[in-house]
Amino acid sequence: DTEVTQTPKHLVMGMTNKKSLKCEQHMGHRAMYWYKQKAKKPPELMFVYSYEKLSINESVPSRFSPECPNSSLLNLHLHALQPEDSALYLCASSQDGGRGFWYTQYFGPGTRLTVL
Amino acid sequence: KQEVTQIPAALSVPEGENLVLNCSFTDSAIYNLQWFRQDPGKGLTSLLLIQSSQREQTSGRLNASLDKSSGRSTLYIAASQPGDSATYLCARGAGSYQLTFGKGTKLSVIP
């Protein structure tokens, strides 16, 4: 099973709302990632968790707050977003070789976020 | 800054043709090279991963090669089918979990 699941599939929110995106995998992967993808652009890395610890934060604004409650779950908490944050948010996971080394990344279907 | 370039940006071929997608990267200190497929509005599907110590990988009708010295990778698709129509992304892997994507090649296979 190489499945990464993401919920919800679509999300529409106002700039004052608080919402969360959820990602789950049961492949035993210990590295989990959040990416942001704007229309007709490649994915851009936002955060990486390695063994449930935040390993990389690519200078993402604080209105995006990641959380890794256990080795299978990854959340992205959203607050006070801007219309330009509208995008496809992709979660991925991979085996973690430690010290920044990793293997094939498996992606979820994404959450299409629209900020009004 | 590490750059990944994919040429062509779009490609249209008749069904049954063999085709090659190209990917080039600027830094030869590569960790791995991964090819993905993305259907419109969907997530990414991993196709092939080539570690830096390897020269090629094969899966079914797909073959990917890696030439670190020239900073190039190619994805060869044999006997193309309409179901192969999608955007193909190559991504260069570096240490610290970094995966840098190219802008993709949009492939249309015409029945």
Q: What is the mean pLDDT of residues B45-63?
A: 93
Residues A30-62 pLDDT 10s = 999 999 999 989 999 999 999 999 988 888 999
Q: What is the mean pLDDT of residues B16-27?
A: 93
B96 phi-psi bin (left φ>0, alpha ψ -120 to 50, beta other): left
Residues A52-99 pLDDT 10s = 999 888 889 999 999 999 999 999 999 999 999 999 999 999 988 776
Report the largest interatomic distance among the alpha carbons of chain B, rounded to a whole angstrom: 43
Task: Give, for B31, the enclosing helix (H) or strand (E).
Answer: none
CB–CB of A15/A80 below 8 Å?
A: yes
Q: At B3, phi and psi to the nearest 5?
A: -120, 145
Nearest by CB to residue B43, choosing from A90, A100, A101, is A90
A104 band by pLDDT with thresholds 50, 70 and 90: confident
Residue among B61, B69, B2, B66 at smallest CA distance from B37: B61
How near does any CA of chain B get to the CA of A23, in Å?
Answer: 13
Residue B59 has a pLDDT of 94
Residue among A21, A31, A27 at smallest CA distance from A3: A27
B60-90 CB burial, b ≥16 within 10 A, e <16: eebbbbbebeebebbbebeebeeebbbbbbb
CB–CB of B43/A36 below 8 Å?
A: no
Q: Which residues of A touch B49 (CB under 8 A)?
A: 103-104
* B28 residue type, one letter: S
| Long-range pairs for A46-52: beta carbons < 8 A, 24 or more residues apart | A46/A76, A47/A76, A48/B97, A49/A74, A50/A96, A50/A98, A50/B97, A51/A96
Between A103 and A48, the more confident residue is A48
Counting Cα atoms < 13 Å in the Cβ hemisphere of B58 gives 3
Q: Which residues of B touch A33 (CB under 8 A)?
A: 97
Rounded CA separation B2/B34 (Å): 15
How near does any CA of chain B get to the CA of A90, in Å?
Answer: 7
- Taking CB atoms and an 8 Å cut-off, how many pairs form between chains A and B? 57
